[in-house]
Chains A and B, each alone.
Chain A
Amino acid sequence: MNQQNQHSEIFDLLNRYFAGEAIESELKRIDSWLNESDENKAAFNQYKLLWNNLEKYRIAKIVDVNKEWEVFKSRTSTAKTFTLPKQSTTIFNKFTRIAAAIILFIAVGGLGYYLINNIGNKKYYAKNTINEIALPDHSKITLNKNSKIIVAKDFNKEKREVKLIGEAYFEVKSNGKPFIVRTSDIEIEVVGTSFLVNSVKNADAIEVVVNTGIVSVTQLNKPANKVILKKGEKAYFRKKSKELKKLKNTDINFISWKTKKLIFKNDKLTKVVKTLNKIHHANIQIKNVEIKNCRLTASFVDQSLESILKVIENTLDIKVEKKNNIIYLSGKGCE
């Protein structure tokens, strides 16, 4: 019986390890268990094989090879012609036909190549869906709804310049050439990093939030008005006063619209409501003061507003009522 218990104890420990949940002390225990005997090492490797196959199963299910080939082709072609996409996936379908035509065209005539390369500024749009764009330098831009990107004609010659109207998340690949994002009032310059720019047309401020790397934010034509941001920092530019401020980013969900992941860690209901209103374009209002300080700890991955509200209903004992497109939250309150 003791053998059995020890057996299942080891499996529990290994399960935690392979799931990435093991803590320091557990890692040490596994390490010493491994060093006890060759049988243990062999058992470990066999169990690892099981986990590996589960992982292979997952990858085989998630990674669509044909889709990835289309993505690959769109990144390696020498020119792009885009029409206003209805859904981000249809770009690649339309694209393979165009790509095939272009490759053939180039093979047949060098003059054609020259002409294609000088079509002009390339424009990308996102209307009702989020649009992912791969740039010729392998950088990636994810455009939020109702946003637009214009890529400079000489992109990736000596520098990489784009113009943004709206909101987009940038993942810039390092290639030595500065990557510059211009908005109505400020420009953002990086070499290789990932960051968010929110420059919606009628908003009275522009925000830049850095996810990785180092980013410099400067007011257009006023090089002295500049801040340098690193991971976890945010620039806030007030259009009227031309004030450019550097702040800490406290909003962990700043790219939820892209990642579809919402994380709340002991957050006040007021903050939760503010985030939900923004991400889901909702109008949620808190009816009584008592519940304002209720705190929520939850993670939502690709969940509809309805299911998120259901969780809030149940965990915080809150009533959710919908009237004329406004959602009212009420309840007794929390400790």
Chain B
Amino acid sequence: MNDNSKYISLKLDESQFEKIFKTHFQSLCYYANTFLKDLDNAKEIVHDVFINFWEKREKIDINKPVKSYLYTSVHNRCLNYIRDHKKFNYSIERIEDLSFNPAAEQSDILIVEELKQKIDDILKMLPEKARKIFELSRFEGLKYQEIADELGVSVKTVEANMSKALKLFRENLKDYIGLLVVLIDLLLTLKKML
């Protein structure tokens, strides 16, 4: 069975690759989405990065930080995409920083289960209309005008309901998020020490 040597010489085998893929895919999508504000294209870019990584896997040393390689690749592709498609989101360029800064995203877990649960609970607390409007905006990605058209209300109503929803989130998540940031930082420091 000498042909097995071909298999062993691969530095990164499929199951290791699968682990890396499944660990980082969602977080990388989130990261790409912060630049593109477009989840479909963000997903495609992350797929491209992994395909590229897969094709180069024999040359990559898995003892080097794979995560920073992945984030850097995604970052570069996003910038190229924005440039090529002149998808000039004025607000991003002006108010936020487009430079490479995944520091906040270094956690492997995109969102801890507890926080996910908390957000579920808060959503249930919202009155039907506000919840529906919030979900159409944040989860379906509709613009305020589109939501207004769809529900047959004015844009002002949409805005008022969004304000209502966000106020509820602000009030109920304020301490929570602060605490979680501290926790995640602690976990990372511990991880580095071990």
Contact = CB atoms under 8 A, between A and B. Distances in A.
B139 A61 contact: yes
Contacts of A75: 47, 51
A59 B29 contact: yes
Interface of A: 8, 11-12, 15-17, 19-22, 24, 27, 30-31, 34, 47, 49-50, 52-63, 65-66, 68-69, 71-72, 75-76, 103, 107-110, 138, 212, 297-301, 311, 314-315
Given A11-B166, A49-B177, A71-B47, A57 B115 contact: yes
Contact of B39 (A22, A47, A57, A59): A59
B119 A57 contact: yes
Contacts of A56: 30, 110-111
B48 interface: yes
Nearest to B6: A107
A323 B164 CA distance: 45
Given A107-B7, A297-B149, A314-B152, A12 B163 contact: yes
Nearest to A61: B139
A318 to B, nearest CB: 14
A60 B13 CA distance: 27
12 contacts: A11-B163, A20-B37, A47-B170, A49-B177, A54-B138, A59-B33, A59-B110, A60-B116, A69-B22, A71-B47, A76-B55, A299-B146
B173 interface: yes
B71 interface: no
Contacts of A20: 37, 89, 91, 143
Nearest to A47: B170
A230 to B, nearest CB: 14
A146 B133 CA distance: 37
- The size class of the interface chain B forms with chain A is 35 or more
Contacts of A21: 143-144
B178 to A, nearest CB: 8
A100 B162 CA distance: 48
Contacts of B142: 299, 301
B99 interface: no
B149 A57 contact: no
A15 B164 CA distance: 11
B26 A60 contact: yes
Interface string B102-119: 001000001100011001
Interface in B96-153: 104, 110-111, 115-116, 119, 137-140, 142-144, 146, 149-150, 152
B185 interface: no
